[in-house]
Amino acid sequence: MTPRIIDQELEGAELGIAVVAARFNSYMTDQMLEMP
């Protein structure tokens, strides 16, 4: 495997983590707003 392919995989993993984190943050925000 060339280093460029490894870099692409790392970027993809980081992007996936960022998407999950963003969804988690928005979910937690919604839960807090719904609290009385």
Considering the entire predicted model, what is its pTM? Answer: 0.60
Q: What is the per-residue pLDDT for 1? A: 61
Q: What is the per-residue pLDDT for 25? A: 96
Q: What is the pLDDT of residues 2-24, one digit of tens each?
A: 778 888 888 888 999 999 999 99
Q: How far is CA 12 from the centre of its chain?
A: 10
Per-residue burial over 1-36, b = 16 or more CB atoms within 10 Å of its CB, e = otherwise? eeeeeeeeeeeeeeeeeeeeeeeeeeeeeeeeeeee
Residue 30 pLDDT greater than 80, yes or no: yes
Question: For residue 26, what pLDDT band results from cuts at 50, 70 and 90?
Answer: very high
